Amino acid sequence: MSTVLLPPSETKRAGGSGAPLAFDGLALPVLAPQREAVVASVVALSADPELAARVLKLSARQRGEIDVNAALRAAPTMPAVDRYTGVLFDALDAASLDTTARAWLGEHAFIQTALLGPVGALDPIPSYRLAAGASLPGLAPLKRVWADAVRDALAALPGLVVDLRSEAYAALGPVPAGVASTYVRVVADGPDGTSRALNHFNKKSKGLLVRRMAQDAPQLATVDDLISWAASAGFRMRPGARAGETDLVIAD
């Protein structure tokens, strides 16, 4: 068994054919109180477009996102892994996976959101606009809303937790100390042997890694298991420079 934690993407597909958002249809239902508080705050914020634009850091072109947030409770939904676009999710290309691989994502992959906390990859969610660093009026900072509750909710995750989230989203839901986990960084080795972190290829590599995990359904209990499986799947991974981290190494 293993669990994968993914970041969300700012860019999302519009629309959907699923029923409106229902908290009891999401993974980790113990997070319902936090989900209700954040959704209520986002919807209320939408009633003041000028304030919403400032809080959400929207440009004039992005003002339509305020209407998207206002409709959160009534909007159609689609599986979370299909909702998000961008480099990571384009590389993952979940829509092209077969039924078995998509089912693996539904059971083992979670996407850490600012709006709903971690949701299962196949959980039905609406489109929305909210970043990890947003400060919603009348609500504690999102890190305070989510961190302790998510840490408790993640305590029962099976196998090795492979954390592919950005640091901002990992802060919204720390993995409990007693859970076997590793934080993955994507790096390239330079000619002088030094490693440097990557951005665009960071996201693409993580998407490709998760796609292969969904196809192979590896049984991972330790970091050594992850590194060994990765090698067999054509990925180079190694222990990171810092404790609790693993490097995913790509060609520079």
Question: Average pLDDT for residues 40-62, to the nearest whole number?
Answer: 96
Total number of domains constituting the chain: 1
Give 42: exposed, middle or buried? Use CB within 10 Å, 0-12, 13-18, 19+.
buried
For the ranges 60-74, 102-116, 150-164, 184-198, the lowest mean pLDDT is seen at 184-198
**pLDDT tops 70 at residue 199:** no
- Picking from 93, 126, 108, 99, the residue whose alpha carbon sits closest to that of residue 206 is 93
What local confidence, expressed as pLDDT, does residue 1 receive? 73
pTM score, whole prediction? 0.94
**Percent of the chain beyond pLDDT 90?**
89
Given a cut of 80, whether residue 215 has pLDDT beyond it is yes
pLDDT value at residue 241: 87
Q: Quick one: pLDDT at residue 194?
A: 60
Instruction: Write the DSSP assignment of 8-74 as a string of letters.
Output: --S-B----SBPPP-GGGSSSGGGHHHHHHHHHHHHHHTTSHHHHHHHTT--GGGTHHHHHHHTTTT
Domain of residue 46 covers 2-249
**Sign of the four-CA dihedral 24, 18, 207, 227:** positive
Predicted pLDDT at 198: 58
Alpha-carbon gap, residue 116 to 53, rounded angstroms: 20
